[in-house]
Amino acid sequence: MAAWTWRFEKTDGAEVQPSVEPEEFTTQGDAESWIGEYWKDLLGGGADQVRLFEDTTEIYGPMSLHAGEPGDTAESAEAAEAAEAEA
């Protein structure tokens, strides 16, 4: 079974420790629901963007946690869903 995980980064791509410890998710939907719930806490804790992985394969990212900016969470999630639908 695949494991879905998030990588937390500064805007320059440097990895940072998240302020909220994520679990390993069994579905992409669970991982995306979790980030939707905790993105403000993660942003407040020093993460600027995230990348989603299925095992070791990057699915999408970087996705900004800064709402209202280019590439914000809602726009990036919609773009990822559209790309997934086309695949």
pLDDT tens digits along 23-63: 889 999 999 999 999 999 999 999 999 999 999 999 999 99
User: Can you give the pLDDT at residue 74?
Assistant: 47
Q: How many domains, in total, are found in the chain?
A: 1
**What would the pLDDT profile of 6-18 be if each residue is shown by its tens digit?**
999 999 999 999 9
Mean pLDDT within 53-81: 73
Choose among 23, 13, 12, 22: nearest CA to 58: 13
**Whole-angstrom Cα distance, residue 49 to residue 9?**
5
Contact 61, 51 (CB under 8 A): yes
Give pTM, 2 decimals: 0.75
Task: Please give the residue range of the domain that contains residue 50.
Answer: 4-86
User: Can you give the pLDDT at residue 23?
Assistant: 84
- Three-point CA angle 60, 62, 68, nearest 5°: 115
